[in-house]
Amino acid sequence: MTFSGTERMNTGRPIQDLLDALKQLGIEARSVVKNGCPPVHVKRNSFVGGSASMKGDKSSQYFTAILLCAPYARRDVTLTVDGKLVSKPFIDITLAMMKDFGVEVVNENYHQFFCKSRTII
């Protein structure tokens, strides 16, 4: 499955940090043109789960992306923040919305997040 974006995203919005974290979780995802930007090809059913770490000074959208997908992994997901997490309010919004849908994420003082696998029916 290939995901693309606008021309601007495809040339000026690098997401390599997100792709690296997804790889740690077993997801086979790669930048199609090898520039770290969209379009991105993702192999279906490759989300194993486990542990990943990501720099906290990167986009909170990367953390949100992984947290929203975490319940669908085959194994529990632990996401560790390297350094200080920026945009904590956006992570709070993500966690609150997930809780509204019945998904509990353990927030260890914004240094680590834990989500059980298959918590959504």
Q: Is the pLDDT of residue 119 over 70?
A: no
CA 22 – CA 27 distance, rounded (Å): 5
Per-residue pLDDT at 10: 73
- Nearest to 42, CA basis, from 52, 25, 34, 30: 30
Give the global pTM. Answer: 0.89
CATH 3.90.79.10 fits 2-115, yes or no: no
End-to-end CA gap in the chain: 24
Per-residue pLDDT at 74: 94
CA 15 – CA 78 distance, rounded (Å): 20
What does the domain layout of the chain look like in residue ranges?
2-115
Per-residue pLDDT at 2: 87
- Is residue 108 within 8 A of residue 95, CB to CB? The reply is no
Per-residue pLDDT tens digits for 39-96: 989 998 889 999 999 999 988 999 999 999 999 999 999 999 999 998 899 999 999 9
